[in-house]
């Protein structure tokens, strides 16, 4: 049994979300997230907890757009690096490919 920790809460929410989506479709799963009052950082942390073990980031030299999980990670890093807000980062870097993100962040 998990203790009363934020991580434990995340795991319970992930399980509930998965069950809702499986049995009642995506609309109700999204409604659950909307009603939960989790912020973007909470959802990012839950994504990390349930990320598949075999998840592999696209090649650093790819000209593809990043997945939403990678994009959120890149935005977080560039906001910290450039000390800008998330909206500014989205407007400035929103269409960057993996290659462009990696050049920018390294």
Look up the domain containing 59 and give its range: 51-106
| Mean pLDDT in residue range 31-54 | 87
Question: Given this model, what pLDDT does residue 1 score?
Answer: 45
Q: Are residues 59 and 106 in the same domain?
A: yes
Q: Are residues 6 and 56 in the same domain?
A: no
DSSP symbols for the chain: ---S-HHHHHHHHHHHHHHHHHHH-HHHHHHHHHHHT--HHHHHHHHHHH--TT--PPPTT--SPPPHHHHHHHHHHHHHHHT--HHHHHHHHTT--HHHHHHHH-
Q: Do the domain assignments include residue 104?
A: yes
Question: Given this model, what pLDDT does residue 55 score?
Answer: 62
Q: Do the domain assignments include residue 43?
A: no
Q: Are residues 29 and 75 in the same domain?
A: no
pLDDT in tens, 50-67: 877 766 666 767 888 888
- Calpha distance 30→99 (Å, rounded): 31
Q: Which pTM value belongs to this model?
A: 0.53
pLDDT at 46 over 80: yes
Q: Are residues 32 and 59 in the same domain?
A: no
């Amino acid at each position: 049994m998990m203790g009363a920790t934020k991580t434990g809460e995340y795991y319970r929410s992930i399980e509930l979300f998965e069950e809702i989506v499986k049995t009642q479709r995506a609309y109700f799963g999204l409604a659950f997230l909307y009603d939960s009052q989790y912020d973007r950082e909470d959802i990012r942390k839950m994504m990390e907890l349930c990320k598949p073990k075999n998840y592999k980031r696209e090649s650093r030299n790819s000209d593809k757009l990043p997945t939403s999980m990678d994009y959120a990670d890149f935005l977080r890093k560039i906001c910290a690096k450039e000390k800008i807000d998330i909206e500014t980062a989205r407007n400035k870097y929103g269409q960057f490919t993996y290659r462009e993100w990696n050049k920018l962040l390294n």
